[in-house]
């Protein structure tokens, strides 16, 4: 399945699921370092949902409030450098340290604004974590979940890796929404940009996309 094969309504609901699964995460101190991967995802997905629902500025899609929330409660649980490097693909190794820094900044801004556009979709959803299929010594596992609410359930899966330095002992490095792996989807888009205009061209494209998203957000107010 590709993004084009997912209906606009379903894709909006899917990103709302991402908001539920990530933006509604708990603060790092609430995790135990010996959490299993599925317990980590369950805790991340559910503990502060009521708090988010009660915050009208978050639910309205306030970009500044969501940016703070992402920095404080999402980023500690992501291997964001790995996500960005994987999304950029072979071009990441060609990029200078400064270019890699810019790519991470702009990719993060892109995802934050995606969350901002979908966060007001969060309402009565709940997360069901499916039985984990892994061995105790696995370093990387897939945690499969289902977001249930109005309409059909939404598949939302997480690729997570053991990370002793992380608050929970785990970090997320990819997400699957309704059969589409987020990082893999961006890799196809980014490869086209790099092939056409190089790494600087991709950075410029991300800057322009984020600027355009900001203008649309401002016009909507």
Q: How many domains does the chain have?
A: 1
Q: Give the residue-averaged pLDDT of 79-106.
A: 95
Q: Is residue 216 part of a domain?
A: yes
Q: Reduce the DSSP state of residue 2 to 3 states and report it.
A: coil
Q: Is residue 188 part of a domain?
A: yes
Q: Is the pLDDT of residue 217 over 60?
A: no
Q: 41: domain CATH number?
A: 3.10.450.710
Top pLDDT among 182 and 33 is at: 182
Q: Reduce the DSSP state of residue 144 to 3 states and report it.
A: strand
Domain of residue 87 covers 7-220
Q: Is the pLDDT of residue 71 over 80?
A: no
3-state helix, strand, coil in the chain (%, to 5): 60, 15, 25
Q: Reduce the DSSP state of residue 174 to 3 states and report it.
A: strand
Q: Give the residue-averaged pLDDT of 119-140.
A: 80
**Nearest CA to 159 among 49, 91, 82?**
82
Q: Is the pLDDT of residue 22 over 70?
A: no
How many CB atoms lie under 10 A from the CB of residue 111? 21
Q: What pLDDT score was predicted for residue 199?
A: 96
pTM equals: 0.79
Distance of alpha carbon 113 from alpha carbon 78, whole angstroms: 17
Q: Is residue 1 part of a domain?
A: no
Distance of alpha carbon 16 from alpha carbon 67, whole angstroms: 16
Q: Is residue 42 part of a domain?
A: yes
Q: Is residue 140 part of a domain?
A: yes
Q: Is the pLDDT of residue 31 over 80?
A: no
Q: Is residue 2 part of a domain?
A: no
Q: Give the residue-averaged pLDDT of 81-86.
A: 95
Q: Is the pLDDT of residue 129 over 50?
A: yes
Residue ranges with strand state E in 54-169:
126-129, 140-148, 154-162
Q: Give the residue-averaged pLDDT of 131-157.
A: 87
């Amino acid at each position: 399945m590709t993004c084009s094969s997912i209906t606009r309504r379903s894709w909006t609901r899917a990103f709302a699921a991402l908001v539920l699964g990530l933006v509604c995460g708990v603060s790092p101190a609430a995790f135990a370092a010996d959490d299993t991967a599925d317990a980590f995802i369950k805790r991340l997905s559910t503990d502060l949902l009521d708090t988010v629902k009660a915050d009208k500025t978050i639910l309205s899609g306030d970009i500044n409030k969501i940016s703070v929330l992402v920095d404080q409660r999402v980023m500690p649980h992501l291997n964001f450098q790995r996500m960005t490097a994987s999304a950029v693909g072979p071009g990441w190794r060609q990029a200078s340290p400064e270019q890699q820094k810019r790519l991470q900044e702009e990719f993060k801004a892109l995802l934050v604004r995606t969350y901002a556009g979908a966060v007001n979709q969060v309402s009565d959803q709940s997360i069901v974590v499916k039985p984990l299929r892994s061995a105790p010594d696995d370093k990387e596992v897939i945690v499969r979940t289902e977001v249930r609410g109005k309409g059909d359930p939404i598949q939302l899966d997480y690729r997570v890796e053991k990370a002793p330095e992380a608050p929970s002992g785990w970090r997320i490095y990819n997400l699957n929404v309704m059969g589409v792996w987020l990082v893999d989807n961006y890799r196809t888009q980014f490869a086209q940009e790099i092939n056409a205009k190089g790494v600087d061209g991709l950075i410029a494209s991300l800057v322009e996309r984020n600027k355009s998203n900001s203008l649309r957000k401002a016009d909507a107010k």
